[in-house]
Copies of this chain bind each other. A is one copy, B any other.
Amino acid sequence: MEKIKEALSDDLLGKTVSIRGWVYRIRSSGKITFIVMRDSTGIIQCIASSENLNDEQMKEISSLTIESSIELSGKLRKEPRAVTGYEISLQSYKIYERNENFPIAKDLGEEFLLDNRHLWLRSREFTAVLKIRSTVFKAFADYFYKEDYYQVQAPMFVSTATEGGSSLFNVDYFGEKVNLTQSSQFYLETLIYSLEKVFTIAPSFRAEKSRTRRHLTEYWHAEGEAAWYSNEDMMADEEKMIKYIIDEVLKNNLEDLEIIKRDINKIKNIKIPFERIKYKDLIEKSKEFGMNLKYGDDLGADEEYGIMVHFDNPIFVTDYPESLKTFYHRPDPDNPGEILCHDLLAPEGYGEVLGGGERIYDLQQLLDRIKENNLNPEDYYWYVDLRKYGSIPHSGFGLGLDRLVMWICGLSNVRETIPYPRTIRRVKP
């Protein structure tokens, strides 16, 4: 049995090849039936004619419908008019399952397609995106393993909010109320005192009502923390990681990028180091783009789009004002009111895919920041403890893997990057 990709080869010309998969296209013209078959590796044209098959078989073959599953054998030949340049002249076959009408077609409503996501996913475009996604997950982990990080797992059920309580999901936990994690950061921080450099790949949950093209209620979060790292050390690892992932996608998924019509040069030309731009300088620069931002304004999806549409390479935006970031970020001792942090904004208008920076490691400073934010230090007793026992300088980051895939694939909505996207209105299938 050959995979279709293996069958697309001059080495097998004139030989009998066997493939199995699904009917991708089918048309009959008089005494001949053309079937384009697909499997996970590609597509190939097969031709059924009365030369090799009897009348009953011809009837059966020509009655097949899209997405029927079959196994078939026949001689391989070159056929320049066929979709991938080769053709199998069908000699024998076995039908696994003959469909009624496959419900997915062009011009169907969005809701219908979402209800039938389990079938829609079979499209070549989705398949290509999911293959690229698989490479992204592998490359992310490979990069950090290579750099002596350990992969760890933080809990999903939590009782401490990382990013503020407003967007937490509640779970009924044997009669008590607990939350679903928004970020594994605090847990990763607890592990750097023994493992020093750690990363995790896990779902995170945010009950945000935003319906933007880049929000999911459940998303895949890749996070890292590193002992003794400064803000700049962390950015250096991150940009190398991003470059490594892009290189791996270019190495493994060129065909997939073609299927989704991605302009490959847009990612091929990504260069490190990425430019570092201070928040205050970016606010200034945004005026060049006709934007009306002032110091202290938060950068949301629209603002980031307005800025990043003018960039071909990612940028690190650093030194945000304290008021814009969560309490655990370390203030810059040399620039009061600013913090030692960074966001990574992707080009072509994509905007934020990653945020990170130094964490406060001074006990009193952390307690002060918790109080300034009207939080209860007791809720954070274990996080505070880390500053009492062997505290050290350290930095970390959180990367939205779905958003990264969205940018690399050049997609217009983050929902296209994941098999079953969860949004405020959809948890089915």
**Any chain B CB within 8 A of the CB of A138?**
yes
Q: Mask for A140-154, Cβ within 8 A of B = 1, else 0?
A: 010001000011111
Query: Does A126 make an interface contact (CB < 8 A)?
Result: yes
Q: When the two chains form the complex, which single residue of B68, B173, B228 contacts A20, counting CB atoms closer than 8 Å?
A: B228
- When C-beta atoms are compared, the residue in chain B nearest to A422 turns out to be B157
A218-B131 in contact given A190-B419, A195-B40 (Cβ < 8 Å): no
> Contact: A155 with B422, CB < 8 Å?
yes
Asked if residues B388 and A153 are in contact (CB atoms below 8 Å), the reply is: no
Whole-angstrom distance between the Cβ of A394 and the nearest chain B Cβ: 11
Q: How far is A195 from B422 in the complex, measured between Cα atoms in Å?
A: 21
Residues of B within 8 A of A102 (CB): 389
A69 touches which of B392, B418, B420 (Cβ 8 Å): B392
Contact B169 A169 (CB under 8 A): no
If A119-B389, A391-B97 touch, does A429 touch B382 (CB 8 Å cutoff)? yes
A70 to B207: give the CA distance in the assembly, Å. 41
Question: Inside 8 A of A195's CB, which chain B residues have their CB?
Answer: 40, 127, 130-131
- Distance in Å from the Cβ of A200 to the closest Cβ of chain B? 10
A202 at the interface (CB under 8 A from B): yes
A71 to B124, CA, bound (A): 55
Q: Which residues of chain A (56-79) have a CB below 8 Å from chain B?
A: 67-69
B-side contacts of A150, CB under 8 Å = 130-131, 134
- Band of interface residues on A: 35 or more
CB of A298 to closest CB in B, whole Å? 24
Q: Does A427 contact B (CB under 8 A)?
A: yes
Check A151–B172 contact: CB distance below 8 A.
no
Contact with B along A390-424 (1 / 0, CB 8 A): 11110000000000000000000000001110101
Return the contact of A203 from the options B145, B174, B202, B420 (Cβ within 8 A): B202
- A190 and B118 contacting across the interface, CB-CB below 8 Å: yes
A176 nearest CB neighbor, chain B only = B427
Q: Does A279 contact B (CB under 8 A)?
A: no
Cβ of A385 within 8 Å of any chain B Cβ, yes or no, is yes
Write the nearest CB–CB distance from A384 to chain B, whole angstroms. Answer: 10
The reply to whether the CB of A244 lies closer than 8 angstroms to some CB of chain B is: no
Instruction: Give min CB distance, A146 to chain B, whole Å.
Output: 11
**Do A388 and B118 touch (CB < 8 A)?**
no
In the complex, 9 of the A-B residue pairs with CB atoms within 8 angstroms, ordered by the A residue number, are A69-B391, A96-B392, A97-B389, A118-B385, A118-B386, A123-B194, A156-B218, A157-B218, A187-B419
